[in-house]
Structure 1
């Protein structure tokens, strides 16, 4: 099924991003995490790279002053979906907190996100990552003690996970019901995945 012919916005998003999404599973750090063979240093490096990406997304959405209020009618509160702080908490648990001497976190370059459809296309990527993240959290059982500490980011929105994802899906369908908005949303989702891939390709 082509992205243009997909019956639902989520079908269209999956069709448009399937190839790049599949490639991301082959990123060495993510593959090591999924297979339960990532070490402490590798996990810290992965979290720092993820922080650069998610902090960039949150900054980009915050830098569009009218965007936050514009998303509220679509059932999306950007502030409730911030997860960069969870990564910082995980780093602190691992003894790798970012002190003042470390300087600002390098931020990943991102596509423009200043419209509702583009913001929702990006959120499809970042919110969708919470689905697989919960499984990846279990893959850390050999590295971390039981509990949430050190894997808060991967556990996503915790008890709110189901409701948050359903609200995101509803917003995607509502916005994607109009062809021009759907096209913009698909372009932003694909560009966000590509930005994520490029950010990890350039990891030190």
Structure 2
């Protein structure tokens, strides 16, 4: 089955472009991208990410079910990967939860999912910034950044298909844009 036209996904990208660009300027992400983040800085980043992902995954868990869109949230959870990365560095696996938006509609939940699943695209590139701390090509210590591994492409395609389906529904695109913008804003505030 060919993928659906990408109108809604591009609309989400455009609605979040400014805030997404600002996140590239967060010092910890810049240092990671440049390969100059030390172990203490990386562990601090992992713990901060854990606080955000624990909170957004909890918010998604109580949002309206996304199964009608072909989305299984359980297979998309990444807090366990963050905890495994922290264990690799023998660091505490707990973090305070970030304040995140309430996802009262399926559209808003899909907007939030666009943010979290989209981060797997950049994470795979950022993982190379750890080659000075971890043996290149290994997953240990960078499992979160590597995301869904071999399932990455299929998972992203399924997410995009769900977004396009919702985007064709009345109010779907507006709801997804709100969910995505508010999720990015919560992420930016958490790292600000």
Q: Secondary structure at the match of 1:26?
A: coil
1:58 touches 1:82 (CA, 8 Å); kept in 2?
A: yes
C-alpha displacement of 1:115: 1.4
Q: Hey, what does 2:56 align to over in structure 1?
A: 57
Kindly state the Cα deviation for residue 154 of structure 1 after the two structures are TM-superposed.
0.2
Give the structure 2 partner of residue 15 of structure 1. 14
Q: Give 1:175-186 correspondences, 5 Å limit.
A: 175-186=166-177
Query: Is it true that 1:93 corresponds to 2:85 in the alignment?
Result: no
- Equivalent residue in structure 2 for 1:158, among 149, 152, 161: 149
* Contact 1:118/1:188, CA 8 A, preserved across alignment: yes
TM-score calculated relative to the size of structure 2 = 0.94
| CA-CA distance at 1:181 after TM superposition | 1.4
2: CA distance between counterparts of 1:152 and 1:121?
A: 24
Alpha-carbon separation, structure 2, partners of 1:71 and 1:79: 11
SS of the aligned residue for 2:67 comes to helix
Inter-partner Cα distance in structure 1 for 2:124 and 2:60: 25
Runs of 4+ residues deviating >2 angstroms: none
CA RMSD of the aligned region, Å?
Answer: 1.2
Cα deviation per residue 1:126-168 (whole Å; 9 max; x = unaligned)?
Answer: 0000001111111110111231000000000001000000000
1:78 paired with 2:77, answer no
Say whether the 8 Å CA contact 2:59–2:101 is kept in structure 1.
no
Which structure has more relative contact order (CA 8 Å, sep 6+)? It is 2
Q: In the alignment, is the contact (CA less than 8 A) between 2:70 and 2:162 conserved in 1?
A: yes
CA distance in 1, matches of 2:101, 2:157: 25
Does residue 134 of the first structure (1) align with residue 115 of the second (2)? Answer: no
Which position in structure 2 is the counterpart of 1:169?
160
Number of matched pairs? 186
Which residue of structure 2 lines up, in the alignment, with residue 3 of structure 1? none
2:182 to 171, 180, 191: 191
> What is the TM-score of this pair, normalised by structure 1?
0.88
Distance 2:76 2:31 in 1: 26
